[in-house]
Amino acid sequence: MRYYYCSKTYDAQHKFTFEHDRPSEQTHQFGSLFVCTSDSGAFRQNAFFFDFQNASTFWILGGTGIVLDGGGTLDGTGQAWWDAFPSNSTLQRPIILTVFEGTDVTVRNINEVNSPFWFNLVYGSKGVTYDNLHINAVSTSQSFIANTDGWDIYRSDSVVVKNSVINNGDDCVSFKPNATNILVSNLHCNGSHGISVGSLGQYPGMLDIVENVTSTNIQISNARNGARIKAWAGPNVGSGIVKNITFDGFVETSVDNPIIIDQCYETDAAECAQFPSNTYIQDVWFTNITGTSSGSEKSVVASLSCSPDGRCSDINLNNIDLS
C-alpha cells in the first residue's frame, strides 16, 4: 500500500505518527514540507515523550513494514529552540523523527533541517534502514546548534545508516546503550562530534551493551572528534560492555581528535583513578584512517585514555596515516 504527500506544506502543531502492523509493506511517499512548531508550550501539550534522557519527538514511525520515502523535507524550526536553550537548560527540545518499536522500517530520500535536538532516534526497534538522507542544522544567530545528533540508536538491533550527508553540531551517529549489529557506511559528516560509541555507563544500576558495530567509508571534516568511544567513570555510575567495534576507511579533515577512546568521560583524572569506569572495552579496530587533525591537541592525533586495571583490551590500530 502506498500513500502520497506531495506539493503541500504541513504546519504541524500536533504530534504526528505513522504506524503499520500488517504483513504487507506500507509506503508513505513524502514529497512535502513538514514544518514543526516552534511553540514550546504547544509542543509540550501534544508531544510524544520517552523515558530516555528526557527525550521527546515530533514524529513517530512504528509497527512493521513501513517505508518513508519521496524527497520531502522535515523542518524542525530549531532556531527558536536553540535561542531559548542557553537561558533555559531544562527546555525539553524535540527530536524530528523517531522510529519507535518498529520492525523492518525504511527511511530514504528525505531531507531534515534544523532539528531542535537530535535529528533521528531509533528506540526499541529491529531491522531499520536509513538511506540517502540530507541533514542540515544552521543557526542564524549567536546560539549554538546544541545536541543536534544525526542519529542516536538505543535498545535497537540490526540498524543500517548509509549514503547520507550530515552538517550538524554534535555526534554524526551515536550508538547509545544496547545498540547491537549496526552498519554505518558512506557518510559525509561536517562540523560534528564524529562517529561515537556512547556515552555509556552513565546511570547507576544500568548495564549498557554496544557490540558488533561497523562504521566504514566515512568522511569527517571540521569536527571535534572522528572515531570515538566514550564511557563514564566515577563513584555513582553504571556499567557496560563495548565489544567488536570497527572503524574502517575514515578520511578526516581538520578534526580535533581523529581517534579517541575516553574511558574517563566527564570525569577528572584523580576521580577516574579512584573510581575507574565499569564499562569494559574490547575487540576494537581502527583501520585505514587517514587525514589531518586541526592541531587543537597539538601533535596528538590519537588518544586512548583507559581507566586503570585493564578495562580496555585488544585495541588495534592498523594503517593509520594522520598528521
How far, CA to CA in Å, does 250 sit from each of 134, 138, 160, 192, 262?
Answer: 19, 25, 17, 14, 19
Phi, psi of 141 (to 5 degrees): -130, -170
Q: Which of 28, 134, 188, 193 is catalytic?
A: 193
Instruction: Specify burial of residue 201 (Cβ count, 10 A radius: 0-12, 13-18, 19+).
Output: buried
Question: Residue for cell digits 533541517?
Answer: 113
Does residue 151 contact residue 196 with C-beta atoms inside 8 Å?
no
Adjacent-strand bridge partners of 156: 179
Q: Reply yes or no on whether 134 is catalytic.
A: no
Outline where the chain has alpha helix (H).
40-46, 78-84, 269-274
Cα atoms in the Cβ-side hemisphere of radius 13 Å centred on 24: 4
- The string of DSSP codes covering 164-207 is EEEE-SS-SEEE-TTEEEEEEEEEEEESS--EEEEEES-STT-E
Phi, psi of 31 (to 5 degrees): -110, 25
Cα–Cα distance measured from residue 144 to residue 243, given in angstroms and rounded to the nearest whole number: 34
For the annotated catalytic residues, the residue numbers are 193
